[in-house]
Structure 1
Amino acid sequence: MGQKKIKSIDLSKEEKKEKRQIAKSGKAQGRLTDVSAQALKKLEAREKLDKEEIKPEKEPKKGKKAKKRKAKKRSKRYEALKAKIDKTKLYPPNEAIELLCSLSNSKMDETVEVHLNLREEKYSGTISFPHGTGKKQRIVIANDLLVEQISQGKINFDVLIASPQMMPKIARVAKILGPKGLVPSPKTNTISEKPEELKKKMEAGTTQIKTEPKAPLIHLRIGKISFGPKKILQNFECLIKTVTPGKIEKVSICSTHSPGIKVNLK
């Protein structure tokens, strides 16, 4: 019988074969994949991208909650006075003023104020109350020194009177005076060729009337509780006649510490 030949195998060649590696793959990393070292790098990069894709999105920041305004707490005295006024009633002027005077039991001499809601905006004018208002207004006449003080923000007056010749200089500080309603104007009767005479008249009881800058509202003092119902009524009637009833939509009267009383002008 013939001899069998034995084949020799070189194991070094097997070692030279590229080693295979086992790695997890897939988003959920739930399966095994046989990959080479080069492919493994690509797989790791892909897994990194997958993780970035499945990151939960950040919740949008919630907006700041608006602060709730607390209702103004009134005193027991105010609430007691409020209970004496019928909110649903429009009082005739004489009744409203008599009621207002009866509500006052404060030690101080309270100021009486009238609040008008007009049908038109930008109303302005002047009025001379028959009994004054109980308050002296600080009335000044424009000059060079005063204009300089105004430019520095120093305003220590309630009414500014000017001659036509001073108006170009006052124009330089109009931005300061304008928002305060203090610019002299023919509408408010605060421009005159004879400012000294005008000042004396205004000091005798002439008061400016003007609506608020952004609303058709007028808030004006018409006297003191110590005037008594009769004088307060005369001042009230003078105001209504000056503004004219046709331009007035609503009117109420109050004192420093009292609730408002609605007045019927019909």
Structure 2
Amino acid sequence: MKRGKKYVEAAKNVDRQKQYDTAEAIAIVKKNATAKFDETIEAHIRTGCDGRHADQQIRGAVVLPHGTGKTVRVLVFAKGVKADEAQAAGADYVGAEDLIPRIQNEGWLDFDVVVATPDMMGVVGRLGRVLGPKGLMPNPKAGTVTMDVTKAIADIKAGKIEYRLDKTNIVHVPVGKASFTEEQLQENFDAILSAIMKAKPAAVKGAYLKSVTLTSTMGPGVRMNAVKLMNV
């Protein structure tokens, strides 16, 4: 795969044989984020889980202390008083059955997170084929199926992110933006790591964290010391 000049230059700042401490990794990733836009800093955490087994799944949510640096658009499925509550809490879109054809037939997906009250899940279920593959399906574990729509919206707008295993047993999560200070990125990363460590399934055998890589949107990955991170 041919890489651009900027990537090749940035890669010189990374020792491929080394596993970095968090502070060092963040400093390098920040330095390498030289694109003309504010790059997203991401963590890619390879776990020792086997996601084919239900008792080794990881899924949850965590509110990042400094947010994600991204404006999040929230769609809420609710009726009556709960719909009014969602509007008052700052939801970007609120609706019920009326939104089904818009999403299903017109391909409308101008939102980042979907929240639903439990009574609306029958309606939302009809959108499973559209929302599911995009990771937008509301889920009780992530706090997006709830009667407390005010809290759900407040948390999401404050920087709540979802984490879950992908098919290769890796968790991909945003840590913040390249414009964040190193301290802000460190505190966000610590919050993510703490949540994922707490979510460790009892059935996992061997090392829980196989590898942890920090990267920016356009920059090379920086490997972190997974053993050290497990003992923090």
TM-score (norm: length of structure 1): 0.68
Q: State whether structure 2 residue 111 is matched by structure 1 residue 170.
A: no
The one-character-per-residue Cα deviations of 1:209-231 (angstroms, maximum 9, x if unpaired) are 1222x221222211112112111
Q: Which position in structure 2 is the counterpart of 1:221?
A: 174
Give, in angstroms, the shift of residue 106 of structure 1: 3.8
Task: Give the aligned residue type for 1:160.
Answer: V
Q: State whether structure 2 residue 49 is matched by structure 1 residue 117.
A: no
Q: State whether structure 2 residue 210 is matched by structure 1 residue 249.
A: yes
Q: State whether structure 2 residue 155 is matched by structure 1 residue 201.
A: yes
- Tell me how far apart the structure 1 counterparts of residues 35 and 127 of structure 2 sit (CA, whole Å): 42
Q: How does 1:109-148 map to 2 (within 5 A)?
A: 109-120=38-49, 121=51, 122-142=57-77, 143-148=96-101
Correspondence for 1:240 among 186, 193, 208? 193
Q: Which position in structure 2 is the counterpart of 1:7?
A: none
The one-character-per-residue Cα deviations of 1:84-138 (angstroms, maximum 9, x if unpaired) are 2110110011111112223334443222111111222242111100001111222
Q: State whether structure 2 residue 37 is matched by structure 1 residue 108.
A: yes
Give, in angstroms, the shift of residue 248 of structure 1: 2.3
CA pair 95-149 structure 1, distance change in 2 beyond 3 A = same
Structure 1 consecutive aligned stretches of length 4 or more whose deviation exceeds 3 Å? 104-107
Q: Which position in structure 1 is the counterpart of 2:145?
A: 191
Q: Which position in structure 2 is the counterpart of 1:154?
A: 108
Fraction of identical pairs, as percent:
32
Task: Give the aligned residue type for 1:254.
Answer: T
Give, in angstroms, the shift of residue 194 of structure 1: 2.5
Aligned to 2:132, the other structure's residue is in SS state helix
The one-character-per-residue Cα deviations of 1:51-82 (angstroms, maximum 9, x if unpaired) are xxxxxxxxxxxxxxxxxxxxx21012211221
CA pair 161-86 structure 1, distance change in 2 beyond 3 A = same
Rg larger in structure: 1
- Tell me how far apart the structure 2 counterparts of residues 206 and 145 of structure 1 sit (CA, whole Å): 27
- Tell me how far apart the structure 1 counterparts of residues 3 and 221 of structure 2 sit (CA, whole Å): 14
Aligned to 2:98, the other structure's residue is in SS state helix
TM-score (norm: length of structure 2): 0.77
Q: State whether structure 2 residue 222 is matched by structure 1 residue 261.
A: yes
Unaligned runs of 5+ residues in structure 2 are 52-56, 78-95, 201-207
- Tell me how far apart the structure 2 counterparts of residues 128 and 178 of structure 1 sit (CA, whole Å): 22
Task: Give the aligned residue type for 1:130.
Answer: P
Task: Give the aligned residue type for 1:260.
Answer: G
CA pair 197-146 structure 1, distance change in 2 beyond 3 A = farther
Task: Give the aligned residue type for 1:131.
Answer: H
Q: State whether structure 2 residue 94 is matched by structure 1 residue 94.
A: no
Q: CA RMSD in A?
A: 1.8
Highest relative contact order (Cα 8 Å, sep 6+), 1 or 2?
A: 2
How many residues align? The count is 194
- Tell me how far apart the structure 1 counterparts of residues 131 and 169 of structure 2 sit (CA, whole Å): 20
The one-character-per-residue Cα deviations of 1:211-261 (angstroms, maximum 9, x if unpaired) are 22x221222211112112111111111111110186322110011221000
Q: How does 1:12-23 map to 2 (within 5 A)?
A: none
Give, in angstroms, the shift of residue 155 of structure 1: 2.2
Q: Would the aligned equivalents of 1:140 and 1:199 in 2 still touch at CA under 8 Å?
A: no
Unaligned runs of 5+ residues in structure 1 are 1-71
- Tell me how far apart the structure 2 counterparts of residues 197 and 103 of structure 1 sit (CA, whole Å): 37
